[in-house]
Amino acid sequence: MSLYVVMGFGPAGAATARLLAGQGHSVRVVTRSGRNPEPGIEHVVLDAMDGEQLTEVTRGAAAIFSCAAPPYPRWTRDWPPLASAACTAAEATGAVLVMLGNLYGYGPVDGPMTEKLPLAATGPKGRVRAQVWEQAQELHEQGRVKAVEVRASDFFGPGVTDGGHLAARVMPRLLRGKPVSTLGDPDAPHSWTYLPDVAGALVEVAGEERAWGHAWHVPTEPALSTREMVDRLAARAGTGPVAVRGLPPAVLGAASVFSPLIRELKEVRYQFDRPFVVDSSAYEAAFALRATPVDEQIRATVDWWRERLASTG
C-alpha cells in the first residue's frame, strides 16, 4: 500500500483521507490546526503555504491531494502561495499533484459546462482559480510535475456543513419543516456534486496516468433546482412541503454591509441567478466512477443531518 498526503481536512479533504485509509493506505493530513487521531490517518500541523515544510512531509508519497482552501475573503491573497507550495512539493518529490478545483474559472456561460470551455472568468475569484490550474498545467507540460485537476460543482451530502448551499443554512430548518431561504432563483437548474463522488474521483485519477495533465469534472447527477432538491430532502425527512424563498437582492445588499462573506458572493451570484449545469460525460467515458444516484444522495444526507443534530442539539 502507498503513502498519500492530503492538504486540508475540510469536507473534501476529510472524505478523501478516509477513503484512502479505508483502502488500506497510509494517509498524512496537513493542516494548520491539527485534528484528533483517526485510524490510518496521521495529522501533521504545518502551514501548507511553506513549500519547504510541505516537501519534507511529502517525501515518499505517491500523490498529494490539494484539498485545502483559504477563507473565502482571502482567496486572491492566499491561493497563489498555497498552490505554489503544492507545486514545489510535487516537483521535489515526484508525487502526483491532484488538485481539487471548481467551476469558477469558466465565468458565466450559456449552456452546460464542459472541460473544453476556456477559463474566461473576469472576476478576481474566478481568475485566481483559473491561474492555480494554469500554473500546474504549465509545469506538467514542461515535465516538471505530474498534475491533474478535478472540478466539482457545489458540494452536497454527508459531511458538508458550512459553505454548502444545501447545508447549515437549509438542513436544520428543513428538518423542522420551516421555510428556507436560498441565493438567487430557486427554480434555476443547478448541478450539485455529491461529496463521496468528489473523493472517489480524486482518488481514481491519482492512479490513472492518462488523466494527468488535464482537468476533469466529477461525475454529477443531472441538474435539479434548489426548490426541487429541497422538496426531495423534505419528502425523505417527512417534513414537507417546505417553502423555498429566494433572497431578494436588496436583502443581500444590506447584509453585505456587515458580512464580508456575503460581499464576496456578489461575484458569483450568477451561479444561482441562472442555470448552472455541469457536463461530466468526459470523465464518465474515460474512467470507472459514476455519480451516486440522487435518491441515495438524498437518503444519506437526511440521515446524516438527523444524526448530527441529535448529537449536537
The CATH number of the domain holding residue 130 is: 3.40.50.720
Residue for grid cell 440522487: 294
pLDDT tens digits, one per residue of 267-285: 888 999 999 999 999 999 9
User: Are 216 and 93 in the same domain?
Assistant: yes
Q: Is residue 259 part of a domain?
A: yes
Q: How far apart are CA 224 and CA 229, in angstroms?
A: 6
User: Are 25 and 97 in the same domain?
Assistant: yes
Q: Alpha helices of the chain — where are they, by DSSP H?
A: 11-22, 51-58, 75-93, 124-141, 171-175, 195-206, 226-237, 249-256, 260-265, 270-273, 281-286, 294-312
Q: What's the pLDDT band for 164 if we cut at 50, 70, 90? A: low
pLDDT tens digits, one per residue of 37-81: 899 999 999 999 999 999 999 999 999 999 999 988 899 999 999
Q: Specify the amino acid at residue 309.
A: L
Q: Is residue 299 part of a domain?
A: no
Per-position b or e across 7-31, b if 16+ CB within 10 A of its CB: bbbbbbbbbbbbbbbeeebbbbbbb
pLDDT tens digits, one per residue of 107-157: 999 999 999 999 999 999 999 999 999 999 999 999 999 999 999 999 999
Q: Is residue 164 part of a domain?
A: no
| DSSP assigned state of 156 | E
Q: Is residue 112 part of a domain?
A: yes
User: Are 96 and 182 in the same domain?
Assistant: no
User: Are 87 and 201 in the same domain?
Assistant: yes
Q: What's the pLDDT band for 36 if we cut at 50, 70, 90? A: confident
Please say whether the dihedral angle defined by the alpha carbons of residues 266, 217, 117 and 126, taken in this order, is positive or negative: positive
With pLDDT > 90 as the criterion, what percentage of the chain qualifies?
83
User: Are 217 and 244 in the same domain?
Assistant: no
Q: How far apart are CA 223 and CA 218, in angstroms?
A: 13
User: Are 202 and 259 in the same domain?
Assistant: no
Q: Which of 37, 59, 38, 57 is nearest to 46 (CA)?
A: 57
User: Are 212 and 236 in the same domain?
Assistant: no
User: Are 267 and 257 in the same domain?
Assistant: yes
**Above 60 in pLDDT, residue 2?**
yes
Domain count, the chain: 2
Q: How many CA atoms lie within 13 A of 119 on its CB side?
A: 20
Q: How far apart are CA 43 and CA 290, in angstroms?
A: 30
Residue for grid cell 426541487: 228
Helix (H, G, I), strand (E, B) or coil at 114: coil
* Domain span including residue 238: 171-186+224-275+304-312
How big is the chain, counted in residues? 313
Cβ neighbours for 156, distance < 8 A, ≥ 6 positions apart: 164, 166, 167, 192, 193, 194, 195, 229, 297, 301
Q: Is residue 108 part of a domain?
A: yes
| DSSP assigned state of 163 | T
Q: Is residue 72 part of a domain?
A: yes
pTM of the model: 0.95
Q: Which residues pair with 222 in a beta bridge?
A: none
Rg (CA), the chain: 19
User: Are 208 and 181 in the same domain?
Assistant: no
User: Are 62 and 207 in the same domain?
Assistant: yes
Q: What is the pLDDT of residue 302?
A: 98
Please say whether the dihedral angle defined by the alpha carbons of residues 154, 156, 160 and 166, taken in this order, is positive or negative: positive
| DSSP assigned state of 153 | S
User: Are 71 and 217 in the same domain?
Assistant: yes
Q: Is residue 101 part of a domain?
A: yes
**Above 60 in pLDDT, residue 257?**
no
Cis omega (within 30 of 0) on the bond before 71?
no
Planar angle of CA 102, 103, 105, nearest 5 degrees: 105
Q: Is residue 166 part of a domain?
A: no
User: Are 230 and 217 in the same domain?
Assistant: no
